[in-house]
Amino acid sequence: MTTRPAGEGSAGSSNAAAPGDAKAGNRLAYLDWTRGLAAVTMLQGHVFHSFTDVKLKETYPYLMTQFLGGMPPAMFLFLTGVTLAFMLNGQERRGALGWGRVWAAMKRARYMLIMAFAFRIQLWLSAWPQHWSAIFRVDILNCMGLAIIACSWLALLSTLQRAWAGAAAGLLIATASPMVSGVDWGGLHPFIVQYLKPDYNFFAFFPWASYLAFGVAAGSVIRLVPSGGVPRMMQWFAITGSGLILAGEFFSDLPYSILPNSQFWLNSPNLIFIKLGLTLIVVSFAHLWMTHRNPEGRWSFLTQLGTTSLLVYWAHIELVYGRWFGIFRDTLSLELTAVIAVVVIGLMVALSVGRTNWRAIRQRFAVQPANRL
């Protein structure tokens, strides 16, 4: 999910845009397309999770919606890392000193944390009466803020060094996650534990922050490659992604694990590598699509959603999980839920269009003052 702090394209890059980059302002359209695809996948997953009849939640179609719905958080965190790398590269090109770049990263983290708590407070108020502890639930925005803080030291490095260090940081977080699960956290407050210990119910630093670190590495690589070399780089993204998927599948099928407390769906590096591989393939496909199918950068509902994904995330959570349609919770057939998913996606596209064209809409319907005599 992004807003301006988490979703800009380039900042200060001297690389000219290749035809397939289809830039809109400082944004790279293929990244917005990827983010928009993640948003659509998230929307359908949440709609099916909220409204599908409980008796149908063991069927194959429902399980597939939830399997696909597990990808967007990884993609959003990865893309947040990519755009963080863009910002740091842009500041580096403008001559900002290392600690100045660190401070810029910290300000971005501050913004994400402010949005995280504003989001939780709004949900808490709309669900009143609800226990106040819900405000401190660790959501993906909280994870983004903490991950950016933890990765802020990468700003001290050059872009080339940042690419290597980001990959190393992501690998360290991923491989440490099973071991973190085995740590006794009894001495810490549960609110703090939510931020650190892998949990099915929260977006803890371990293992989710690894995607952001890998995104910093990928974003740094993108900025190091001249625009003419981007297509070849995207081929390597796809090859690397395929290799990560195969490696993750191979090691997950072994009858033993060298890492203690490893659980595939909770904290396994193998699952992280599989999701990272899929994300790299989607990014490379998005670039291919924008290069050959939409080189002029025509309007697309996916790129549209990608430019306002934080707004879409915030609004749909209230719509899907709030009190508005609570009477239908866990009661609908798969077919009717699919119709609702399409409607919700359409509403979010309309909301996104309204947000990006708000000034023009406001001017169109503004009351014109009467001419003075």
Instruction: Encode pLDDT of 235-288 as tens digits.
Output: 999 999 999 999 999 999 999 888 989 999 999 999 999 999 999 999 999 999
Per-residue pLDDT at 77 exceeds 70: yes
Domain range enclosing 222: 4-365
Q: What pLDDT shows up at residue 16?
A: 37
Q: Is residue 274 part of a domain?
A: yes
What total of structural domains would you count in the chain?
Answer: 1
Q: Is residue 101 part of a domain?
A: yes
Q: What pLDDT shows up at residue 368?
A: 60
Per-residue pLDDT at 95 exceeds 90: yes
Q: Judge whether 224 and 160 are in contact, CB under 8 Å.
A: yes
Q: What pLDDT shows up at residue 27?
A: 75
Instruction: Name the pLDDT band for 316 (thresholds 50, 70, 90).
Output: very high
Mean pLDDT, the chain, rounded, equals 91
* pTM to 2 decimal places: 0.91
Helices (H), the chain: 4-7, 29-51, 60-69, 72-93, 98-126, 140-151, 159-181, 190-196, 205-224, 230-252, 269-292, 301-307, 309-321, 334-356, 358-365
Q: Is residue 371 part of a domain?
A: no
Q: Is residue 372 part of a domain?
A: no
Write the DSSP string, 79-114: HHHHHHHHHHHHHHHTT--HHHHHHHHHHHHHHHHH
Instruction: Name the pLDDT band for 84 (thresholds 50, 70, 90).
Output: very high
CA distance 248 to 305: 30
3-state DSSP assignment of residue 332: strand
CA distance 345 to 331: 20
Instruction: Name the pLDDT band for 326 (thresholds 50, 70, 90).
Output: confident
Per-residue pLDDT at 150 exceeds 90: yes
Instruction: Encode pLDDT of 101-126 as tens digits.
Output: 999 999 999 999 999 999 999 999 99
Instruction: Name the pLDDT band for 5 (thresholds 50, 70, 90).
Output: very low
Between CA 340 and CA 210, with CA 37 as vertex, the angle to 5 degrees is 120
Structure tokens at 220: 């740094």
Q: Is residue 266 part of a domain?
A: yes
Q: What pLDDT shows up at residue 356?
A: 94
Per-residue pLDDT at 318 exceeds 50: yes
Give the other-Cβ count within 10 Å of 218's Cβ.
26
Q: Judge whether 341 and 47 are in contact, CB under 8 Å.
A: yes
Q: Judge whether 210 and 173 are in contact, CB under 8 Å.
A: yes
Which 8-state DSSP code applies to residue 201? Answer: T
Cis, bond preceding 207 (omega within 30 deg of 0): yes
Write the DSSP string, 49-67: HHHB-GGGTTSHHHHHHHH
Residues of the chain above pLDDT 70, percent: 91
Q: Is residue 167 part of a domain?
A: yes
CA distance 52 to 46: 10
Structure tokens at 68: 């696909």
